Amino acid sequence: MVALRAWYDPDNDDEPIIVGTTADVDTFLDRLQADRAAMQVPPLMQLSRRDAEGWAVLHIGVNTDRGVLAHTDATGSFVTTNGTATDQPLTYDYMGHVREVPGNAEVPLDDVRRAVHEFVITNGARPTSVEWQPDEV
């Protein structure tokens, strides 16, 4: 595993927080869940890897018992899908900025957690434990 950089706190966006283990991921996801209760719009964080071997970014959103993932690397941008059809986008908050995702992007929170663990363990590879669709929003 490599150390990944996490961006989340809009009040302290100067330096990323280093995430190196799945336990670190769990701490962040627990924080997102706790913060969600006080927010009008679900929170979104960014976890990224950039090194000589390449780069990858995973946005992680938490909305009560569901969440969303968006993965970007040199092969393209993808967002999770739950397989339903909908035209209404969902809104998440990334460090004080609105980010829309497809209405069918939310998946169970347990699936989000498992996929983020996979992202950390595989050094930024797009997780295979969830279904993906091209990110076109």
Query: Is the residue at 135 inside a domain?
Result: no
* Side chain identity, residue 102: P
- In a domain, residue 137? The reply is no
Helix, strand or coil, per DSSP, at residue 93? strand
Residue 136 lies in a domain: no
Domain assignment present for residue 131? The answer is: no
Residue 132 lies in a domain: no
Single-letter amino acid code for the residue at 3 = A
User: How many domains in the chain?
Assistant: 1
In angstroms, the CA 74 to CA 122 distance is 16
Residue type, 6: A
Tell whether 65 is covered by a domain: yes
* C-alpha to C-alpha distance for 21 and 47, rounded to whole angstroms: 12
Residue 90 in domain: yes
Is residue 133 in some structural domain? no
Q: What proportions of the chain, in percent to the nearest 5, are helix, strand and coil?
A: 20, 40, 40
Q: With cut-offs at 50, 70 and 90, classify the pLDDT of residue 37.
A: confident
Contact 109/87 with Cβ under 8 angstroms?
no
pLDDT (tens digit per residue) in 65-94: 999 999 999 999 999 999 998 879 999 998
- Calculate what percentage of the chain has a pLDDT beyond 70: 94
Q: Where in the sequence is the domain holding 15, given as residue range(s)?
A: 4-126
Say what the pTM is: 0.90
